[in-house]
């Protein structure tokens, strides 16, 4: 059964991957980190003080579970994990873990790519970049993220 966690606490990457190893031949993972710079509205890279993530409790977990369930049925997975942090996160902090386990590497790798691509576009999170200079901007959807997600849509 997929593990879905949304909250402010950091996660123990080793423990999460070990949980997925049981009976698996492969475990693949993606860890997203807060970058030290961002472009904001200006298009010019500037130092970031923090990234603040907000969500709607209940709705967010339900959306992540639906993404995980899709991966579980599309690939031959033993299990998968999605952990997404919320709150004010400093540069270098972990934001997200998407991981999958399977008997063979291809299923685990592809499912992990699917999980993160769909999380970027279909998970209900609102992200605000807080810059060192005191300005803030809400992160808008990016067409490159939609394109990455759409490659998983089969006609």
Whole-model pTM over 0.95? no
Please check whether residue 99 lies inside any domain of the structure.
yes
Is 4 within 8 Å of 66 (Cβ atoms)? no
**How many CB atoms sit inside 10 A of residue 53's CB?**
21
Please check whether residue 152 lies inside any domain of the structure.
no
Count of domains in the chain? 1
Token pair of 103 as six digits:
């008997």
Token pair of 58 as six digits:
């209940």
- Distance between start and end Cα atoms, the chain: 28
Is 71 within 8 Å of 80 (Cβ atoms)? yes
Please check whether residue 26 lies inside any domain of the structure.
yes
Domain limits at 129? 3-147
- Supply the pLDDT for residue 155: 59
Q: The CATH number of the domain where 37 resides is what?
A: 3.90.1170.40
Please check whether residue 19 lies inside any domain of the structure.
yes
- Supply the pLDDT for residue 144: 86
| 3-58 pLDDT per residue, tens | 999 999 999 999 999 999 999 999 999 999 999 998 877 778 999 999 999 999 99
């Amino acid at each position: 059964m997929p593990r879905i966690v949304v909250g402010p606490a950091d996660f123990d990457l080793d423990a999460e991957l070990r949980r997925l190893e049981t009976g698996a031949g492969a475990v693949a993972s993606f860890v997203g980190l807060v970058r030290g710079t961002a472009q904001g509205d200006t298009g010019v890279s500037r130092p970031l003080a923090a990234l603040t993530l907000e969500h709607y409790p209940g709705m967010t977990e339900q959306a992540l579970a639906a993404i995980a369930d899709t991966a579980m049925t599309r690939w031959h997975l033993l299990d998968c994990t999605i952990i997404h942090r919320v709150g004010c996160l400093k540069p270098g902090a972990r934001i997200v873990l998407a991981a999958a386990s399977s008997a063979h590497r291809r299923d685990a790798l592809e499912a992990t790519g699917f999980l993160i691509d769909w999380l970027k576009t279909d998970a209900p999170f609102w992200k605000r970049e807080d810059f060192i200079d005191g300005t803030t901007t809400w992160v808008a959807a990016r067409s490159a993220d939609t394109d990455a997600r759409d490659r998983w849509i089969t006609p």
